[in-house]
Structure 1
Amino acid sequence: MKKRLFGTLLTVCSFTINAQQVADATEVVKLQTVELTSTKFQLNANHSGKVVIKLTQADLKQNRGVELTTLLDQLAGIDIIGNQSAAGLNLSYSFRGGSNRQVLILIDGVAINNPSSISNDYDLRLLPLDQVESIEIIKGAASALYGSGAATAVINIKLKSAEKDFKATLNTSVATNNSQDKNGLNLANFERGITFSQAFRKADVYFAFQDHQSTGLSAAKGIGFKNDPFGRQNILLKYQLKALKKLSFTSLVNYNKFNTNFDAGSFADAENESISEEFRVGFQSVYTYPKGDFNFKSAFNTINNNNEKTSFPSINKGNTLVFDAYNRYYFNDQLQVLLGLNAQKNEMTSFEIPFGQSALTKVINQVDYTILDPYANVVLNTKGGFNLNVGARLNHHSTYGSHFIYTLNPSYLLTVDEVKLKLMASYSTAYITPTLFQLFSPDYGYQNLNPEENKSLESGFTLNYKKVDLDLIYFYRQEQNFIDFTLLDPSTFAFGYRNTVQDFYASGLETSLKLKVSDKINFSSNYTFTQVAATKIRVPKHKINAHLSWELQAQTHIGLDFNFTDKRSDSFFDLSTFSSSRVVLKSYSLVNLQANRSFLNRRFNVFAHLTNIFNVDYQELVGFTTRGRNVLVGFQFDIQ
């Protein structure tokens, strides 16, 4: 297996080295240098050996009123399961057939998670799109740069900062929230927000508040089921100080909260309520010197999940303290070296009602683990077009010890006239640490767990010719030491977490196309083929997204979206038989329409969405409601 993976990688390396002589006589067109999540360096995007997906502020403005997870679901290789259902439904992130624990979320470049949850994953329901400046996504294993959890993807979410001397923004939207069997214009989804920003000569201040309220849908599917309302509030305060010409500081205070009602499961109504609160403070500094810069990023995050008003009451609290310090040194235009040190401490406290008792009792008392990881990354960009990114990390965990991770990512850029062809390959390893619950749960925990290991192979190309951008990527992933919740003793029905000896595999193809049809019309599409084990649920083999954008006038934009999701297997617990049942969910296609219009020199923006135009009846998860045809209208007014 390993020989085959390295054989493919070395073949691409050999080809790119031999082909350098072709590119020596070719002038490479320079693009804007930007910091790439795939390398942590300021690089020309042509020098990256990864397909990096970037959603800019211009992209986000065209999708005002849309949830962040809905945008992610429209990208190649990504399934956000639950984002088309009731607003408070738990979400599953499947990147290339993986799961939540294999996706790492960064907020302003700092890793964030929820140590109080079973899978340690961060809940994207906490974040409003209106407070996001940009989103950058790299797929494949990236633990060498970012540590635990970066197995199938890294999502770097950059929050907004001050823009000009003074700017205030008001935004609001109203929408229906109908299922397929409901009609009419009953408004049930409301969002409103306000921001202030002030840029001074050496300091910037940014403040934002957002509120979202939604009702009208039951999470579970059934006749006469009660609505499950959802509410979210977000406060963001950012302060940036340019203390010296070469030294800058950024501090952040962020409060996010949502409360949601939820049901007992598939086809099962209930009156459960969950409240999730997050408080985060962050600090970053950058010192620039002639040959590079030193970066320090840190954050303290605390999350409180209150499930007292449920069938199984509990309170879970988690704290995370993280810092990431790294130095970037640019020897010349061709060679850059990064050395870094990443540290993290996770804590968890949990309250439950033990069997036979009636009051909440502390069952997990402030357990913790620490991580200390030195890491390095080297980027080589030759004038002949060959590029190489090599990285390594030594993970040291206070519970299981040390673990070595690495990445090898060659690429070659061939430019002939107006054609740019980039060939890429990568072989990377990743790790996923056992969670605090898996280690220390009094009923199910096991402190001798080892980290899960992923090995990922990618190969493919990107092609740019005049008004056409095309990329095609093959991916292959092997998962080892999977941590499973398994039956330990059939005689006593004792369950617990253990590393399994069985390996799991995923493979597939991703392709994306961007076409500038004319000065006013753009077309983009992507297709994903994913092959996973038969036991894996909710992963479509085929998925297609397409978007047609038309600038009707200088300040009017119209967009049309098409989404196809193939059939998937799913399972649910049947309360009538008290057993698990497996079903096949039918494929479905959705068509959505959006429009934006700007007035007053683009300071007043009106937007509208018509989603699921044909009112298609479909299921994301068996036994749960999905949204039918709905309409949303809103505006944003900028004062500056």
Structure 2
Amino acid sequence: MKFVLFLIPLIAYSQNYKLEDVVISSKRELRESDYTVDVETIESFEDAGNEKLVDVLETLPGVSINQSGAPGQQATIRIRGSEGRHVLVLIDGVRVNDPSDPNKSFNPALLNVGDVERVEVLKGAQTLLYGSDAIGGVVNIITKKGREKDSITLNAGYSQGIQLDNTFTFGDSILHTHLFHDKAEGISAADGGDEDDGYENRGVTLNFFHSFSDKLEGDWTLKVTDQFSEIDNTDFSTGLPIDSDGDYAKNIQQLFSQKLNYRTGSGKLSHLLGFNKIDRFNKFGSFVLGSYGKELTNELHWNQKIENGFYLIGLENLSESFSQDALDEKVTGLTSLVLIRDYKKGSVFGQLGYRASHHTESGNNFSPSVGVGKFYGENRVAFNYQQGFKAPTLYQLYGPFSAGNNELDAETSEYFDLNYSFKKLFELSLFYNRIDDFIGFEGNYINTDWLESYGLEINSQQKIGAYELNSGLFLANFNQADGKKALRRPSQKVTFGVGRDFGAGQRIRINYVWSGKRFDRLQTNSETLELDPYSLVDVHYEKIFKDFTLNTGIENAFGEDYEEAFGYSVQPFTAYARLKYSY
């Protein structure tokens, strides 16, 4: 109740404002030439009824989610067979991978998409543009900037929640606020368990934009979230999760970004300052462990348009720290110089780039990149090759109880893809990614030689009358030098969606996902287990009234009993409803 009362003043004093595109990025246009990009927009979220990032990503071929339990529990994003730590997640350009996590991966399970305008998924290695942590891909989340009317949204179903969006204008300044509170009783994280594991997620996002002049503009974002999940413990005699009353995981994240753009003639100077702080608390029995991570990003880029293209020069610095209640603070830094030449003349386009980096623990790394492509009428063919690296995490280097290994080398990658597309209707990608000095865990962290993934991906979408159709196919192989199976990721995936516009503000959409078999292992040296393929069907309906929008539907419509991680529960059959009032 206190949370709702706190929001009431924002409803009373806000104004409606139509804002043009104020997304500040010196990298976005550089991706257009030869990179494979899937883009999910806010319209897709509204149409499909998706409330969580994991639901959005699960509909994309080449992207897999594995979650240790039902909604609200720990989840991992994998792109084209990569590890979760190889996928960099950004919110408004700021890195949000968890420095307090042993693998420095990002947990998307509790990220509500209520303040998200769009999500861009870049598949394959992206080291040239984004540096370390991106040898598997990038998920770029852009928050709302005040383009829509003020609104209040109520939802009920697996969880119950409220969210408020308001926009305020002050001359050349715009302030957008988003507040949300989401809570669920949940089900047991352990498959077949009797004790429910609920979660609660609340937070606020403030975005402020100001135009100083026709040359200089700034964008500031502050995002604070407080996430609490009840969790289950592990039976160490079997390695399986078991009911555990009172155990929990709590995450408090503070995110700040400042982006400045200065345009002069045909050039643009961009500066990004980002800060990501996560305090994480895990309770097991009577023991509570606190883990604390911080990351400071400082990037300066000069983008100069020239004849037949442009070039970019960038200087970037990343400072990271990690500590636990039983471990003193450890600090590391990464400094990079980036040089990129982008070329386009007639139907031919290309990109040549080079990133030189120095990591305080793992030394120097040099990452070249080249891309070339050509249009043949409405057909487009492109080839992209690049090398990359992933620095060891601070936990992998200095983890307690002899888990850490300060002799670890950085993981290095070699990646290419060949891409063909026809308009925006059809796309075919062939890809290969090899990661050397792959970091694994065998009692402690060690470099275990290599991991490779290769395969093909097909996407198609078209509109036929009132129908919108999209489909995807992903086929891949994953190999490791030690002969072990790559865990918790399917090597085959099929997606299909159909939407129908009935007019009068009514739409219906059906999403189908078939995920092939995947492997899991309870303990490092235990037998590898095979998890069966499964199919999921979601049905979503939307009705738009004058000031109200109603979304309702069913997730896991046929109540499929499946596993993403052995021994853990999954999303059950769930009906939901969401009512949005705009004013």
TM over 0.5: yes
Tell me the SS of whatever aligns to 2:369: strand
* Residue in 2 that maps onto 1:484: 440
Matched residue, 2:327: 364
Structure 1 residues 126 and 617, CA, compared in 2 at 3 Å: closer, same or farther? closer
Asked if residue 391 in structure 1 is aligned to residue 353 in structure 2, the reply is yes
Structure 2: distance between partners of 1:591 and 1:207: 34
The alignment partner of 1:70 has SS state of helix
CA-CA distance at 1:41 after TM superposition:
5.0
Q: 1:552 aligns with which of 492, 495, 502?
A: 502
Q: Helix, strand or coil: the match of 1:62? A: helix
Which residues of 2 match residues 132-211 of structure 1 at below 5 A? 132-163=116-147, 167-175=149-157, 177=158, 189-211=159-181
Q: Answer yes or no: is 1:330 the counterpart of 2:311.
A: no
- Letter of the 2:273 counterpart: S
Q: CA deviation at 1:36?
A: 11
Partner-residue secondary structure (3-state), 1:307: strand
2:571 is the counterpart of 1:617: no
Aligned equivalent of 1:524, options 460, 465, 470: 470
State which of 350, 353, 373 in structure 1 corresponds to 2:336: 373
CA distances 1:585-617 after superposition (whole Å, capped 9, x unpaired): 1111121110111011xx310000112222222
Tell me the CA shift for residue 81 of structure 1: 1.0
**Secondary structure of 1:545's match?**
strand
Following TM superposition, by how much is the alpha carbon of 1:66 offset from its aligned partner in structure 2, in angstroms? Answer: 2.5
> Distance in 1 between the 2:429 and 2:341 partners?
23
Are 2:360 and 1:401 aligned? no
Aligned partner of 2:416 in structure 1 is 457
Q: What amino acid is the match of 1:588?
A: Y
Q: Distance in 2 between matches of 1:444 and 1:614?
A: 43
For 1:436, the equivalent position in structure 2 comes to: 394
Matched position secondary structure for 2:568: coil
Distance 2:313 2:45 in 1: 33
Q: Summarize the alignment of residues 292-371 of structure 1 with structure 2, pairs less than 5 Å apart.
A: 292-310=267-285, 313-332=288-307, 334-351=308-325, 363-371=326-334
Shift of 1:74: 0.8
SS class of match (1:124): coil
**Paired amino acid for 1:287:** Y
Letter matched to residue 213 of structure 2? L
Amino acid in the other structure paired with 2:404: G
The aligned amino acid for 1:481 is: D
1:395-441 CA distances to partner (integer Å, 9 max, x unpaired)? 111112211012111111111xxxx1111111111111111111122
Q: Quote the Cα distance in structure 1 between the aligned partners of 2:328 and 2:274.
A: 23
In structure 2, C-alpha distance between the alignment counterparts of 1:570 and 1:270, rounded to whole Å: 22
Task: Find the aligned partners of 2:487 and 2:161 in 1 and give their Cα distance.
Answer: 33
Partners of 1:579 and 1:320 in 2: CA distance: 34
Deviations along 1:346-392, whole A, 9 cap, x unmatched? Answer: 011101xxxxxxxxxxx321110011111011110011x11101111
Please identify the structure whose Cα radius of gyration is greater. 1
Q: What residue in structure 1 maps to residue 518 of structure 2?
A: 568
Q: Distance in 1 between matches of 2:536 and 2:408?
A: 43
d(CA) in 1 for partners of 2:305, 2:498: 41
Q: Which portions of structure 1, spanning 4 or more consecutive aligned residues, are displaced by more than 4 angstroms?
A: 33-37, 309-312
**What letter is aligned with 1:584?**
E
Candidates 372, 375, 384, aligned match of 1:426:
384
- The CA distance in 2 between the partners of 1:631 and 1:73, in whole Å, is 18
SS in 2 for 1:297: strand
Match for 2:57 among 72, 86, 102? 72
Contact persistence 2:24–2:259 (CA under 8 A): no
* Residues 1:61 and 1:277: Cα distance change in structure 2 (over 3 Å): same
- Residue 188 of structure 2 is matched in structure 1 by 218
Any conservation in 2 of the 1:126–1:256 contact (CA below 8 Å)? Answer: no
Tell me whether 367-376 or 105-114 shows the greater mean CA deviation: 105-114
Q: Deviations over 1:455-476 (max 9, x none)?
A: 1111120013xxx711110111
**Distance in 1 of aligned mates of 2:335 and 2:487:** 35
Distance 1:102 1:312, change over 3 A: farther
- Aligned residue in 1 for 2:452: 505
Task: Please name the residue that 1:540 is paired with.
Answer: 490
Give the equivalent residue in structure 2 for 1:185: none
Aligned partner of 1:9 in structure 2 is none
Q: 1:124, CA displacement in angstroms?
A: 1.9
**In the TM superposition, what is the alpha-carbon distance from 1:126 to its structure 2 partner?**
4.4
Partners in 1 of 2:476 and 2:287 — Cα distance?
A: 36
The alignment partner of 2:434 has SS state of strand
Q: Equivalent residue for 2:18?
A: none
Q: Secondary structure at the match of 1:87?
A: coil
Tell me what 1:245 maps to.
214
Counting matched residue pairs gives 552
Q: In structure 2, the residue corresponding to 1:162 is in which secondary structure?
A: coil
SS in 2 for 1:538: coil
Alignment counterpart, residue 580 of structure 1, candidates 526, 541, 548: 526
CA contact (8 A) 1:163 1:199 kept: no
* 1:60 partner SS: helix
For residues 92-141 of structure 1, the C-alpha deviation after alignment (integer angstroms, 9 at most, x for no partner) is: 22211111111011111222322111011222234210010111111111
TM-superposition CA deviations, 1:21-78 (whole Å, max 9, x none): xxxxxxxxxxxx99998x82547x9x62122111122212213352111111111200
Equivalent position amino acid for 1:424 in 2: A
Q: Is the 8 A contact 2:350 2:370 kept in 1?
A: yes
SS at match of 1:526: strand
Q: Is the 8 A contact 2:71 2:571 kept in 1?
A: no
Cα RMSD between the aligned structures? 2.1
* Counterpart among 407, 410, 430 of residue 474 in structure 1: 430
CA shift for structure 1 position 339: 0.5
Amino acid at match of 2:345: T
Instruction: Check whether the contact 1:87–1:214 (CA below 8 A) recurs between aligned residues.
Output: no
Q: Percent identity?
A: 22
Deviation for aligned residue 1:255: 0.3
**Offset from partner CA, 1:233-255 (integer Å, 9 cap, x none):** 11111111111111011112110
Task: Give the conservation status (yes or no) of the 8 Å contact 2:50–2:56.
Answer: no
Distance 2:571 2:77 in 1: 19
Q: Deviations over 1:550-609 (max 9, x none)?
A: 001141110011111112222225xxxx98343221111121110111011xx3100001
Which position in structure 1 is the counterpart of 2:27?
40
Partner of 1:57: 42
Match of 1:593 among 524, 534, 539: 539
Alignment partners' CA distance in 1, 2:536 and 2:447: 40
Does 530-539 or 317-326 show the bigger shift? 530-539
